[in-house]
Amino acid sequence: MTDHCCAAMTSRANARCDQHDDAYACPDALVDFSLAFQEYGLIIHDGGRSSVTIEFCPWCGQRLPESQRDRWFDELERRGIDPFEDEVPAEFQDDRWLSSARQD
Ligand SMILES: [Zn+2]
Ligand SMILES: [Zn+2]
């Protein structure tokens, strides 16, 4: 379980439903937190996988951590991996890559 800026965000971002494994399929799900990108999205329930990335917490107003999406692509490129063509390593499918990525 990941801790977030406040209790409301923590419970929303970690919410799991008995009936829907996939948050995008669950009408009660509001927030999708991407571990790999460290991004928060408000889920748009249009039957697809759309979300709106948010920079501030809707509940406590705190600025959320910066998205790591660009670094994610940079880091894969540095390793010669094309995420659209090649298999993405397991550590890049959640937040493990962040601890092994070069800090610069
Ligand atoms: Zn549900
Ligand atoms: Zn918050």
Residue 42 C-alpha to ligand 2 middle, in angstroms? Answer: 14
Q: Can you read off the two tokens belonging to residue 84? A: 């659209």
pLDDT recorded at residue 102: 61
In terms of pLDDT, which residue wins out, 65 or 101?
65
Q: What is the pLDDT of residues 3-48, one digit of tens each?
A: 899 999 999 999 989 999 999 999 999 999 999 999 999 999 999 9
Going from the Cα of 39 to the center of ligand 1, the distance in angstroms, rounded, reads 21
Q: Which of 3-7, 48-52, 61-65, 98-102 has the lowest mean pLDDT?
A: 98-102
Which 8-state DSSP code applies to residue 31?
A: E
Helix (H) or strand (E) holding 13: helix 7-13
The alpha carbon of 91 and the centre of ligand 1 are apart by a number of angstroms equal to 28
Q: Rounded to the nearest 5 degrees, what angle is found at the Cα of 71, between the Cα atoms of 70 and 72?
A: 90
What pLDDT sits at residue 101?
Answer: 77
Confidence of residue 66 (pLDDT cuts 50, 70, 90): very high
Separation between Cα atoms, residue 61 and residue 6, nearest integer Å: 10
Question: What tokens does 70 get?
Answer: 């660009």
The structure's pTM equals 0.85
5 CA from centroid of ligand 2 (Å):
4
The percentage of the chain sitting over the pLDDT mark of 90, rounded to a whole number, equals 88
Both structure tokens of 41: 């999205």
Give the distance (Å) from ligand 1 centre to CA of residue 22. 8
How high is the pLDDT of residue 104? Answer: 54
Domains in the chain: boundaries: 7-54, 69-100
- Which helix (H) or strand (E) covers residue 33, if one does? strand 31-34
| Structure tokens given for 26 | 């669950």
